[in-house]
Structure 1
């Protein structure tokens, strides 16, 4: 049975490449999604808080 396997001159390079892939394929998208969801949550929270303040008769002059 014949197999084609990658041959790298240094095992450390292969480890670095795997770490790089994990960062690019997992952590970068996770940070982007976390940032987007946090921005959405803050926007909704501030809008709902201002809406509650508008409907509270004690805050009206």
Structure 2
């Protein structure tokens, strides 16, 4: 199941920089993950300083 970014996102961009699939983009007030592109690897969750990306 693809990862999703919760409301804890601080818009730092760490997750997007680490995503090997380029599935993460800047959204309205938080980053968003394209579920169709996400490989469910967890790189975003490991990179995030606030734990915003979580398995959906």
Range class of TM-score, shorter chain? under 0.3
| TM-score, normalised via structure 2 length | 0.21
| TM-score, normalised via structure 1 length | 0.20
Instruction: Identify, as 1 or 2, the structure richer in strand.
Output: 2
- For CA contacts below 8 A with separation 6 or more, give which structure has more relative contact order: 2
